[in-house]
Amino acid sequence: MKIRNILFPTDFSCCSEHAFDHAVRFAQEYGAQLHIFHLTVLLVDDPMNPAFHCRDTGKYEQQAREATDGAMVNLLRRHNLEGVEIKLVQRQGVSASSAILEYIEHGEVDLVVMGTHGHRGIAKAVLGSVAAKVVQLGSCPVMTLCEKRGAGHLPEVHRLVVPIDFSVPSERALALSGSIAERFGATIDLVHVIENYSLPAFYGPWPRAWEDLKILAMDELLELRDQQRELLPKTVEVEAHVLESRRASHGIVNFAKDRRADGIVIASEGLTGLPRVFIGGTAQRIISLASCPVLTVKAWAHHGV
């Protein structure tokens, strides 16, 4: 995985500042340039409402730039940026997600790191609209993070959870996690979840069917691990796990929590894959529920990834 440019979109909320810790850490590890991006949203919510009218547009824009400059300076002061090349980017527009996506396409961005919700505050159980669109439509991997207490220090990466449904996209997620694990000296947990409400009756007696499925899934996981060994760094330890859960997303999130994982690496679509404009249902729920960072990998190639 080649990471030369990392994009960090921010609205200077607490959630985005937690994401900044990870953006800085990855920039240091990969020697990448960190693009700190802020969009000033123009007052166009309701053109018929006088509250949104500004007689002196130039003065308003100048004040917005000055406020952003001050917030940028404060953000940089609060963090150790040793060895990181910083590029500050300010834009004006009416849609944060559109501006971010346009910058991704024209800025040769290899990785986006952002919070799942910002000042407009969306409950943690719901994926923020801006983050959702960037994950859905962006052409590079996107790391999303929820707000977390105790942020403000650069994170380490010791353990990664990689959900596997044996689709090609999930194998790409495994290959990408191998690159990250090698950089950080991390262990990889391969996880396949059997959703225990959907077992068809033709499998036979219930207990025997579950045991047969578990054995089969574990064999497939081990075979996949061995097949990918030539692509995965030899120094990276890879463990395989088969879980039961009513929903794959809940099983994965709970497993990551129990293992104290430092991140989940998941494909944007899998065996139930939807077109590019949608996030797979499992991936979306994991992003919404996980307390650790979630790196969503596209099912198609991009740049050096």
Domain ranges, ordered by start, for the chain: 5-145, 159-297
Which pairs with CB-CB distance under 8 Å and at least 24 residues apart come from 25-28?
25/154, 25/155, 26/111, 26/113, 26/143, 27/84, 27/85, 28/82, 28/83, 28/84, 28/154
Residue 18's pLDDT band, with cuts at 50, 70 and 90, is confident
Q: Does the fold of domain 159-297 match that of domain 5-145?
A: yes
Give the separation between CA 300 and CA 281, rounded to whole angstroms. Answer: 18
Q: What is the pLDDT of residues 87-145, one digit of tens each?
A: 998 888 778 889 999 999 887 899 999 998 654 443 333 345 788 889 888 889 999 99
Q: What is the pLDDT of residues 32-58, one digit of tens each?
A: 999 999 888 765 554 555 555 555 556
Give the separation between CA 12 and CA 68, rounded to whole angstroms. Answer: 9
Per the prediction, the chain carries an average pLDDT of: 80
What's the pTM? 0.82
Comparing 53-67, 151-165, 285-299, the range with the smallest average pLDDT is 53-67
Give the separation between CA 149 and CA 154, rounded to whole angstroms. Answer: 14
- How far is residue 128 from each of residues 3, 60, 146, 291, measured CA to CA in Å? 25, 27, 10, 15
**What CATH architecture is 5-145?**
3-Layer(aba) Sandwich (3.40)
The predicted structure's pLDDT at residue 126: 37
Supply the CATH classification number for the domain 159-297: 3.40.50.620
